[in-house]
Amino acid sequence: MTDTKPLKDAYTLILEAIDLGVYKPGDRLVESELADRFGVSRTPIREALQRLETQSLLTRDGRSLIVASLDHNQLAELYVVRSELEGLAARLAARHATQEEVRLLRGMIEEDRALMNQPQALSRANKRFHKQIHLASHNRYLVQQLDLVHRSMALLATTSLSFEGRGFQTLEEHSKIVEAIAAGDGDRAYDALKQHISLAFETRLRQDSMADARYSV
């Protein structure tokens, strides 16, 4: 097979497939199957898998590579880092966001109200919203670090937005964040986004607790 895509494309395609839930934690990734799915040769697939393993997004199960999963401690650590970095992004966005960026953020919230009964679609929209705040910080190094954090978030097999009432609550929290950014109030934007992440984490813990209770019955 002739290579039609460079390494970056193979890496991105696999990462997006994990992020979209095509491959979930514990799923085995096979070079030949990935090459057929994405229409590339096995060489860039192999190199992409090695890169993902180095980033701890994949792990070894014997000789096989599987999508990694996060235990409770890893999840808590990830949310601590995410909370601080996202809060900083909101603080900087309050200082640097343009009027156009603020209007875009407000528009996203309004558009997302139509997705209340579609948790997966709302989850994708939520990622776009947060990414826009990252960009509005106008700090490339912070954006790079947040990209790394959000790659690890792809290892979460479910979305907290599927929890009853969480979608509506999320958009209310988003509104508070954007209004603080629009007002140029960095401290308020920082606090609002950190509170938003804290509530998302609490919801996820509640989901996990309920799932564990079902399995133990």
CATH (domain of 176): 1.20.120.530
Q: What is the pLDDT of residue 160?
A: 76
Flag whether 171 is in a domain: yes
Q: Are residues 17 and 85 in the same domain?
A: no
Q: Looking at 34, 52, 67, which one is the last position of a domain?
A: 67
Is 2 part of a structural domain of the chain? no
Query: What per-residue confidence (pLDDT) applies to 153?
Result: 84
Claim to verify: residue 160 and residue 209 sit in the same structural domain: yes
**pLDDT tens digit at each of 217 positions of the chain:** 444 444 458 998 998 888 878 898 899 999 999 999 999 999 999 999 999 999 889 999 888 899 998 888 999 999 999 999 999 999 999 999 999 999 999 999 999 999 988 888 898 899 999 999 999 999 999 999 999 898 888 888 667 777 778 889 999 999 999 999 999 999 999 999 999 999 999 998 887 777 655 544 4
Query: Using CA atoms, how far apart are residues 34 and 13, in angstroms rounded to an integer?
Result: 10
Give which of 200, 194, 208, 203 is closest to 81, Cα–Cα: 194
Per-residue confidence (pLDDT) for residue 131, from 0 to 100: 97
CB 89 within 8 Å of CB 134 = yes
Whole-number pLDDT of residue 80 = 95
Q: Are 75 and 204 in contact (CB under 8 A)?
A: yes
Structure tokens at 93: 């966005």
Q: Are residues 102 and 197 in the same domain?
A: yes
pTM of the prediction? 0.81
Domain that holds residue 23: 7-67
User: What is residue 4's predicted lDDT score, i.e. its pLDDT?
Assistant: 46
The pLDDT score that the predictor gives to residue 210 is 72
- List Cα–Cα distances, 62 to 28, 57, 66, 188, 211, in angstroms: 11, 16, 10, 49, 28
Residue 28 β-bridge partners:
66
1, part of any domain: no
Contacts of residue 207, Cβ cutoff 8 Å, sequence gap at least 6 = 158, 160, 162, 163
